[in-house]
């Protein structure tokens, strides 16, 4: 699966409230933003896997997001975090 982390990071930054952008400007990202990204990322991974198998997510009783290796999620989160800070820097908003 190819992922455009720069576009995701920019999109997340663009959607942040001014309060959250202020937090980002000090080199932090609110936990709720990270948790939302990770939850959606896992969902997309499962949907893409199911589509390749010719299945739908509804075909499963259990939550497949629990089966995704945490290393994979951490790697994606790290890349998106860098891109959020890059978007803030491009906007001239980084203070650190």
Residue 66 lies in a domain: yes
Asked whether residue 95 is domain-assigned, the answer is: no
Q: Has residue 96 been placed in a domain?
A: no
Q: Per the structure block, which two tokens stand in for 90?
A: 């491009």
Q: Is residue 76 part of a domain?
A: yes
* pLDDT tens per residue across span 44-67: 888 888 888 888 877 765 667 777
The residue segments making up the domain with residue 22 are 5-90
Number of structural domains, the chain?
1
Q: What is the pLDDT of residues 61-84, one digit of tens each?
A: 566 777 788 899 999 999 999 999
Taking only the tens place, the pLDDT of each residue in 21-41 is 999 999 999 999 999 999 999
Please name the residue ranges forming H helices in the chain: 5-15, 18-25, 31-53, 70-90
Assigned domain for 79 exists: yes
* Mean pLDDT (whole number) for 3-25: 97
Separation between Cα atoms, residue 87 and residue 80, nearest integer Å: 10
Cα–Cα nearest to 87, from 3, 1, 20: 20
**Within-domain flag for 77:** yes
């Amino acid at each position: 699966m190819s992922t455009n982390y720069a576009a995701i990071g920019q999109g997340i930054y663009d959607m942040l409230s001014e309060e959250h952008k202020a937090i980002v400007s000090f080199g932090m990202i609110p936990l709720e933003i990270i948790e939302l990204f990770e939850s959606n990322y896992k969902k997309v991974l499962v949907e893409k896997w199911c589509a390749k198998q010719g299945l739908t997510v509804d075909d499963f009783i259990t939550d497949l997001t629990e089966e995704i290796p945490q290393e994979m999620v951490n790697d994606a989160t790290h890349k998106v975090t860098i891109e959020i800070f890059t978007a803030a820097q491009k906007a001239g908003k980084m203070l650190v």
